């Protein structure tokens, strides 16, 4: 099986087991942007615990701009790197208000200029808020699964993304990320991967080794 065939078959099988959506809870692009900043080096579950209250207090970038850093911190204190993230959120909110009329920009270039937003986060936002597929979100799960499936030998997330963009059909980029993230989180875990529960056991090069 070629890498292209393996990628397509991976999507086909994962679709049957996982939903094509994030575990992060959000109801508009602004909320997803906030959630994704908080999600860096943090589990989605943890993020959801704080965003529930956060979104009640901060309903728009303007609400964040008008708040003190200390108040923003108070809502996200149980999140990793909360001091930095509070500063990022405030800066992002200021930029959204001043430069984008309070809206979330819709390109990877604009999104990655925002503090706390790298390529992974930008790709997540573009697809899951707007349905735009400019790239493939490569987080720790996508990186690990792609390695194990033999779709890449690179270690740097940007290079892995380049490899995957050549292999996965462009109209499936967003779906591929969403599905593979779930596989990595629950089945193809960093240690003790659950081969017996994996829909890809029979086609995974790392298993037959």
Partner DNA sequence: CTCCCGATAT
Partner DNA sequence: ATATCAGGAG
Q: Which residues are catalytic?
A: 120, 139
**Window of 5-13, 56-64, 111-119, 128-136 that interacts with DNA by CB under 7 A:** 111-119
Q: Minimal CA–CA distance to 165: which of 176, 150, 156?
A: 176
Are the C-beta atoms of 126 and 182 separated by less than 8 Å?
Answer: no
Rule CB under 7 A: say whether 148 interacts with DNA: no
Residue from 57, 189, 197, 205 touching DNA (CB under 7 A): that is 189
Given the structure tokens 């986060």, which residue do they identify?
121
Rule CB under 7 A: say whether 152 interacts with DNA: no
Q: Locate 180 and state its tokens.
A: 């593979």
* Cα 136 from Cα 116, distance rounded (Å): 18
- Measured over the CA atoms of residue 17, residue 22, residue 24 and residue 27, the dihedral's sign is negative
Given the structure tokens 């809870």, which residue do they identify?
25
Are the C-beta atoms of 22 and 178 separated by less than 8 Å?
Answer: yes
Helix, strand, coil percentages for the chain (3-state, nearest 5): 65, 0, 35
**Window of 11-19, 25-33, 120-128, 170-178 that interacts with DNA by CB under 7 A:** 120-128
Residue from 93, 133, 135, 141 touching DNA (CB under 7 A): that is 141
Q: Minimal CA–CA distance to 103: which of 165, 32, 171?
A: 32
String of contacts with DNA for each residue 15-54, x by CB under 7 A: ------------------------xxxxx--x--------
- What's the closest the beta carbon of residue 161 comes to DNA, in angstroms? 10
Rule CB under 7 A: say whether 192 interacts with DNA: yes
Nearer to DNA, 80 or 94 (CB): 80
Q: How many residues bind DNA (CB under 7 A)?
A: 32
Residue from 1, 69, 190, 207 touching DNA (CB under 7 A): that is 190
Residues that bind DNA (CB under 7 A): 39-43, 46, 77-78, 80-84, 112, 114-122, 139-141, 157, 185, 189-192
């Amino acid at each position: 099986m070629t890498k292209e065939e393996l990628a397509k078959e991976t999507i086909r099988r994962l679709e049957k087991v996982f939903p094509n959506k994030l575990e992060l809870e959000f109801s508009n692009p602004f909320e997803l942007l906030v959630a994704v900043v908080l999600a860096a080096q943090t589990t989605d579950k943890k993020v959801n615990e704080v965003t529930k209250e956060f979104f009640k207090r901060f309903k728009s970038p303007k609400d964040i701009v008008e708040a003190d850093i200390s108040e923003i911190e108070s809502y996200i204190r149980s999140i990793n790197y909360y001091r930095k993230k509070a500063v990022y959120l405030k800066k992002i909110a200021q930029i959204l208000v001043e430069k984008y009329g309070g809206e979330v920009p819709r390109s990877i270039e604009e999104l990655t200029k925002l503090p706390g937003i790298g390529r992974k986060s930008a790709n997540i936002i573009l697809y899951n808020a707007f349905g735009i597929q400019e790239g493939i979100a490569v987080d720790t799960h996508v990186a690990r699964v792609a390695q194990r499936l033999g779709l890449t030998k690179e270690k740097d997330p940007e290079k892995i993304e380049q490899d995957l963009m050549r292999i996965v059909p462009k109209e499936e980029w967003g779906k591929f990320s969403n599905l593979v993230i779930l596989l990595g989180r629950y089945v193809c875990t960093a240690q003790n991967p659950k081969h017996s529960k994996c829909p890809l056991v029979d086609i995974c090069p790392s298993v037959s080794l």
